[in-house]
Amino acid sequence: MTADTVKVDFRGMLGRFELDAQFEVPARGVTALFGPSGCGKTTLIRCIAGLNHMAGFCSVAGDTWQDDKHFRAPHQRPIGYVFQEANLFPHLSVRRNLMYGHPRTTAGNAIGFDEVTALLGIDKLLERSPRHLSGGERQRVAIGRALLSQPKLLLMDEPLSALDQMTKDEILPYLERLHEILQLPILYISHDMAEVERLADQLVLMRSGRVVAAGPLRDLQADLSLPLALSRDAAVSLDAVVVAQDAVDGMATLAVAGGEFLVPSEPLRVGDHRRLRVEAGDVSLARERPSRSTIVNMLPVRILSIRSQADHRITALLGLGPDGTGARLLSRVTERSWKELDLEPGQDVFAQVKGVALVRREEPTA
Amino acid sequence: MNLSSDIWQPVRLTLELAALTTVVLLIVGTPIAWWLARSKRWWKEIIAALVAIPLVLPPTVLGFYLLVALGPNGAGGVLAPLWGARTLAFTFPGLVIGSVLFSMPFVVQPIRNAFEAMGEKPMEAAATLRASPWRAFWTVAVPLASPGFLTGAILGFAHTVGEFGVVLMIGGNIPGKTQVLSVAIYDYVENAQWTEASVLALGMVAFAFCVILTMMLIEKKMVRAAS
């Protein structure tokens, strides 16, 4: 079980902050550490890196970095660490920053210099000083520097938080490509759900030094016992495969478990895997299939469970397909319309989906 | 101008003393500065205060204790026989020991400040890139703190050149052995050799001016690099 997972268990005090965090996630893909500021995300990731010395256990892909008896110093852990601020060495050129952690022996280097600089678009900056880079360029160099140290685990501490929205949009595609091309597990700290929905496969939810829940992103998003599903901008992520592309009206048909969505999009290749995002607020319910509507996506669903909220809203968990065994959707409706339609868990109804967003390419195996 | 020929003797001796003292101070002072900058122990400021004492102590007081310590009845009486001498007082090695202690704060403080200004982050970045603490120190900390090292070296050198009280107490005034510049000037004045005294004094003024100017230029460069 632990051979291909990242397993973490830390309990202790750091100053006056108490951390009590355990989780185990697959050692592949992106795991997002998500929670409000000050909940201990950075402390936890620093413990994993060994930068904070706290009693606990940490193993990555079967290799134990820390347990009751042993503590590996940070430089003895095969990590890559991308700090919030790029933290480049100001006295070294971009090239020498990139090469700082690069093993001298070329054997066994999975990640090559030319490959990384091309992937991150920094191949034109190599002879510059970090002082003369923009914030986005600096962060890209920092990511490249971490990758070239040939890590077994990449730790990213809100690498985009110090950047403005435009620079974020400039870097996100690089992060997505990273994820597609490299078989490298990534622990990614964020307090921005949009970032998480775009990048993460697994999610670790944190609150006041504790792990509230950990698991696949789409499972946690659709878990009505967690605050995530009840928030105002609650949404689910769906793995979809392109089954048709209509060139005339610019609509693609994407199949998910138990249903199909029509999504306006640029031409997509049939067979491609994509992630769809459906917000709970964009899903309304109907007892019968509406005959004429501008809403193109109307899918049979079964109401699986519900949760009432303080603001007179009801969040319903829906299973796609006639028997409700397909992918999960969330719907956020008012108590009033819920009662008017006389809805109840177990009923088969129709979900009208007003908006579906294409988020990113998805690995076929996911 | 009719100068006595031995005017260069104290100059050479002073430069030798200052250079040797600076080298010793960089070797001894760097680990102390590193420890003072990084340690979280509560009593580190006590050590810092001990290092800084020569800043406010009258040189004659330090010189007095050193005279006792270096003399035949102190540590000097144990060390000096190793190379056949009787005492470290009134010798060149004694002068070096005194100068090292007396100029210590001028070297340790700038280096400590530079290490502190650098912060933990560059060292942490180096550690996450597989650099051992030793490698990180030489490839990251030392280059980043280099203005501090330069300032410390210049101040330590200049301060050793200008010291008088400690030297007089523990070195005395033996031409060619312990008679340094400042003592020589004093000596020339005592003997009414005004020409010799004023040549040396003017040289010292020029030297001091150059030191201060260099320091200011380094500081300016540091500010620019930090922004």
DSSP string over B152-206 = HHHHHHHHHHH--HHHHHHT---TTTT--HHHHHHHHHHTT-HHHHHHHHHHHHH
Contact at CB, A100 and B127, closer than 8 angstroms: no
Strands across the sheet containing A186-190: A63-66, A56-60, A5-14, A17-26, A210-216, A202-207, A30-34, A186-190, A153-157, A79-82
At a CB cut-off of 8 Å and minimum separation 6, what does A86 contact? Answer: A130, A135, A138, A139, A141, A142
Closest CA to A348 of A284, A299, A307, A312: A299
Helix (H, G, I), strand (E, B) or coil at A208: coil
pTM (2 d.p.): 0.86
At a CB cut-off of 8 Å and minimum separation 6, what does A138 contact? Answer: A86, A88, A130
Contact at CB, B130 and A101, closer than 8 angstroms: yes
Lowest average pLDDT, out of A132-141, B44-53, B65-74, goes to B65-74
What does the pLDDT look like over B145-202, one tens digit per residue?
999 999 999 999 999 998 888 888 888 788 888 888 888 888 899 888 899 899 999 9
What does the pLDDT look like over A254-289, one tens digit per residue?
999 999 999 988 888 888 888 999 999 999 999 888
- What's the pLDDT score for residue B168? 86
**Six token digits for residue A221:** 């998003």
Contact at CB, A83 and B121, closer than 8 angstroms: yes
Does the beta carbon of A81 lie under 8 angstroms from any beta carbon of chain B? yes
Q: Residue B222 CB: number of other CB atoms within 10 A?
A: 17
Contact at CB, B131 and A100, closer than 8 angstroms: yes
Q: Are strands A5-14 and A348-353 parallel, antiparallel or unpaired?
A: unpaired
Q: What percent of chain A has pLDDT over 90?
A: 58
Contact at CB, A90 and B127, closer than 8 angstroms: no
Contact at CB, A149 and B131, closer than 8 angstroms: no
**Six token digits for residue B189:** 């004045």
Judged against a pLDDT cut of 60, whether residue A33 lies above it is answered with yes
Judged against a pLDDT cut of 50, whether residue A366 lies above it is answered with no
> Domain with B219 in it: what CATH number?
1.10.3720.10
Mutate to test the interface with B, among A43, A76, A88, A91 (most CBs of B within 10 A): A91
Contact at CB, A74 and B127, closer than 8 angstroms: yes
Query: Which of B121, B130, B225 is nearest residue A149 as measured by Cβ atoms?
Result: B130
A107 falls in which pLDDT band (50, 70, 90)? low
Contact at CB, B129 and A100, closer than 8 angstroms: yes
Contact at CB, A100 and B122, closer than 8 angstroms: no
Lowest average pLDDT, out of A263-277, A315-329, A350-364, B180-194, goes to A350-364
Question: Exposed, middle or buried by CB within 10 Å (0-12, 13-18, 19+), for A146?
Answer: buried
Q: Inter-axis angle of helices B181-190 and B194-226, to 10 degrees?
A: 150
Lowest average pLDDT, out of A6-10, A132-136, B175-179, goes to B175-179
Residue numbers of the domain that contains B222: 5-38+46-226
Does the beta carbon of A91 lie under 8 angstroms from any beta carbon of chain B? yes
Does the beta carbon of A83 lie under 8 angstroms from any beta carbon of chain B? yes
Q: Which helix (H) or strand (E) holds B11?
A: helix B8-38
Taking every pair of C-alpha atoms in chain A, what is the biggest distance, in angstroms?
Answer: 71
**Domains of chain A, CATH where assigned:** 2-221 (3.40.50.300), 235-361 (2.40.50.100)
Q: In degrees to the nearest 10, what's the CA dihedral of A207, A212, A218, A224? A: -100
Does the beta carbon of A100 lie under 8 angstroms from any beta carbon of chain B? yes
**Bridge partners, residue A332, by sequence:** A315
Please say whether the beta carbons of A308 and A314 come within 8 A: yes
- What's the pLDDT score for residue A329? 93
Helix (H, G, I), strand (E, B) or coil at A313: strand
Identify the DSSP state of A237. E
Helix (H, G, I), strand (E, B) or coil at A263: strand
Please say whether the beta carbons of A204 and A211 come within 8 A: yes
Q: What percent of chain A has pLDDT over 70?
A: 97
Query: Which of B128, B143, B144 is nearest residue A81 as measured by Cβ atoms?
Result: B128
Shortest CA gap A360–chain B (Å): 30
How far CA A172 is from CA of A103, A184, B77, in Å, comes to 27, 17, 72
Judged against a pLDDT cut of 70, whether residue A246 lies above it is answered with yes
Please say whether the beta carbons of A295 and A202 come within 8 A: no
Q: Residue A166 CB: number of other CB atoms within 10 A?
A: 8
A180 falls in which pLDDT band (50, 70, 90)? confident
Chain A residues whose beta carbon lies within 8 Å of the beta carbon of residue B122: 87, 89
As a whole number of angstroms, the distance between CA A174 and CA A143 comes to 10
Query: Which of B125, B133, B144 is nearest residue A91 as measured by Cβ atoms?
Result: B144
How far CA A243 is from CA of A263, A362, B173, in Å, comes to 12, 15, 99
Q: Could you tell me which residue, B68 or A81, shows the higher pLDDT?
A: A81
φ, ψ dihedrals at B116, nearest 5°: -70, -40
A86 to chain B: closest CA residue: B125
Shortest CA gap A105–chain B (Å): 14
Chain B residues whose beta carbon lies within 8 Å of the beta carbon of residue A100: 126, 129, 131, 139
User: How much of chain B is helix, strand and coil, in % rounded to 5?
Assistant: 80, 0, 20
**Six token digits for residue B148:** 């501090």
Q: Which helix (H) or strand (E) holds A33?
A: strand A30-34
As a whole number of angstroms, the distance between CA A36 and CA A311 comes to 22
Judged against a pLDDT cut of 60, whether residue A19 lies above it is answered with yes
Mutate to test the interface with A, among B40, B120, B123, B130 (most CBs of A within 10 A): B130
Q: In degrees to the nearest 10, what's the CA dihedral of B213, B216, B222, B224? A: -100
User: How much of chain A is helix, strand and coil, in % rounded to 5?
Assistant: 25, 35, 40
Query: Which of A51, A90, A149 is nearest residue B129 as measured by Cβ atoms?
Result: A149
ipTM reported for the complex surpasses 0.95: no
Q: How many separate domains does chain B show?
A: 1
What does the pLDDT look like over A143-167, one tens digit per residue?
999 999 999 999 999 988 878 888 8
Chain A residues whose beta carbon lies within 8 Å of the beta carbon of residue B140: 89
Identify the DSSP state of A241. E
Q: Residue A332 CB: number of other CB atoms within 10 A?
A: 22
Q: If you count residue pairs, one on A and one on B, with CB atoms under 8 Å apart, how many are there? A: 59
